[in-house]
Amino acid sequence: MLYNFIGKNGEILDHEVNSRVISVNPTRLGRTPERVLISGGKEKILALKAAISTVLPTTFITDEQTAITLADG
């Protein structure tokens, strides 16, 4: 998520790449009034669940199958 490696529960993981990139901290991002998340694909379901719970997007754009999978739990 914005070059922050996150775990399945949305926690920031200690990864060497995190210190090498310029990125917005997820906590700060969560305070932004408009948060858009664009992603899809069955291979990203766990990452999407974590990102949704961490950032609480105000707009989420995805493909139909991913939306159905996420809605089913």
Query: Looking at residue 1, what is its pLDDT?
Result: 63
Q: How far is CA 22 from CA 18, 33, 36, 72, in A?
A: 8, 21, 19, 35
| Six token digits for residue 51 | 């990102």
Q: What is the mean pLDDT of each run of 10 residues along the chain (73 residues)?
A: 78 83 80 92 93 91 96 89
What's the CA gap between 20 and 50, in Å, rounded? 22
**Which residues, in sequence order, are CB contacts of 11 under 8 Å at separation 6+?**
none
Q: pTM for the whole thing?
A: 0.78
